[in-house]
């Protein structure tokens, strides 16, 4: 899909915006997406919405579930990132990307795009935290919940992707109120740059040679590989997402998510004949 991003000099009154929020499987920057919510809107108020859960191919940490309430059981039958990302990119087409603490959402989406070798889009990015700091005064902090309460924005449960995206849209609309209709997107106080430059993906862009030592890096980055596994070379390749390596009493092992069976499995490293990134 060809990227179609609006120019930076387009007036906010003419631009289409897409407020986005994501929830993740853990609290690290290499965690996987488990929910995406997005609201496409303009200053006139018309809007469309996009929401989906995602199967992260790994366990959701207790700390993450404590924030958003999403469990392993809730995402077990959900689509995986490669099946969801094209729809998200199509939904955001032609929009200015808006998010609360935008660098986080950009990086997490960017990581998933990098894992599937999808080019990063060039959408202008506006952070509603930065925008609110400049345009909204007399609030104790600029957390989303605080701003929602201060501004009287009606949303359901925060810390889920679609309600948070709606809340970010509300903060954005309140913050740009009073700005001249001819104000360009690139002149907004919360403007951060283009999506592909805001937060370069932290996923290593490696081409495995089949060396087993590379599996540590692949597991840290949550990359997916196709491997030839077993005592002989006649078996069909297995597609897995490595999670971590560990030592047993006699052999070294890899815990990985098996995409064919949809479960986590343990593989002996000495039985991995060859592998490649897909």
Distance of alpha carbon 96 from alpha carbon 32, whole angstroms: 24
The answer to whether the CB of 153 falls within 8 A of the CB of 165 is: no
Q: pLDDT tens for residues 222-275?
A: 889 999 998 765 567 899 999 999 999 999 999 999 988 888 999 999 999 999
Q: Name 51's bridge partners.
A: 37
Distance of alpha carbon 202 from alpha carbon 29, whole angstroms: 8
Q: Which residue carries 């506006």 as its tokens?
A: 126
**pLDDT at residue 235, as a whole number:** 67
Question: Which residues neighbour 162 within 8 Å (Cβ) at sequence distance 6 or greater?
Answer: 21, 37, 38, 39, 49, 51
**pLDDT at residue 102, as a whole number:** 96
One of 68, 123, 150, 159 is an active-site residue; which one?
A: 159
Give the residue extent of every domain in the chain: 17-198, 214-277
**pLDDT at residue 187, as a whole number:** 96
pTM of the model: 0.87
The parts of the chain modelled with pLDDT lower than 70 are: 1-3, 201-202, 204, 232-235
**pLDDT at residue 265, as a whole number:** 93
Q: Which residue carries 């889009």 as its tokens?
A: 121
159 labelled catalytic:
yes
3.40.50.10070, 3.40.50.1820, 3.30.420.10, 3.30.1540.20: CATH of 17-198: 3.30.420.10
Which structure tokens are listed for 70? 């999403």
């Amino acid at each position: 899909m060809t990227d179609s991003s609006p120019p930076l000099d387009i007036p906010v009154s003419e631009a289409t915006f897409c407020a986005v929020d994501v929830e993740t499987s853990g609290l690290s920057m290499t965690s996987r997406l488990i929910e995406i919510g997005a609201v496409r809107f303009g200053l006139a108020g018309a809007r469309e919405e996009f929401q989906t859960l995602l199967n992260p191919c790994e366990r959701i940490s207790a700390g993450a579930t404590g924030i958003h309430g999403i469990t392993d059981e809730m995402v077990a039958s959900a689509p995986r990132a490669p099946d969801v990302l094209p729809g998200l990119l199509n939904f955001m087409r032609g929009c200015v990307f808006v998010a609360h603490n935008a660098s986080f959402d950009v990086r997490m989406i960017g990581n998933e795009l990098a894992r599937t070798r999808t080019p990063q889009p060039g959408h202008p990015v506006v952070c509603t935290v930065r925008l609110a700091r400049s345009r909204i005064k007399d609030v104790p902090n600029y957390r989303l919940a605080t701003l929602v309460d201060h501004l009287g924005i009606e949303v359901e449960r925060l810390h889920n992707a679609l309600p948070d995206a709606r809340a970010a849209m509300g903060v954005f609309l309140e913050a740009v109120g009073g700005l001249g209709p001819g104000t360009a997107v690139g002149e907004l106080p919360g403007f951060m740059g283009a999506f592909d430059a805001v937060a370069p993906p932290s996923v290593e862009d490696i081409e495995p040679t089949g060396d087993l030592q590379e599996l540590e890096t692949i597991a840290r980055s949550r990359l997916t590989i196709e491997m030839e596994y077993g005592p002989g070379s006649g078996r069909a390749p297995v597609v897995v997402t490595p999670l971590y390596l560990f030592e047993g009493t006699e052999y070294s092992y890899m815990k990985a998510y098996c995409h064919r069976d949809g479960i986590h499995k343990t593989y002996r490293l000495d039985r991995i004949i060859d592998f490649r990134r897909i």
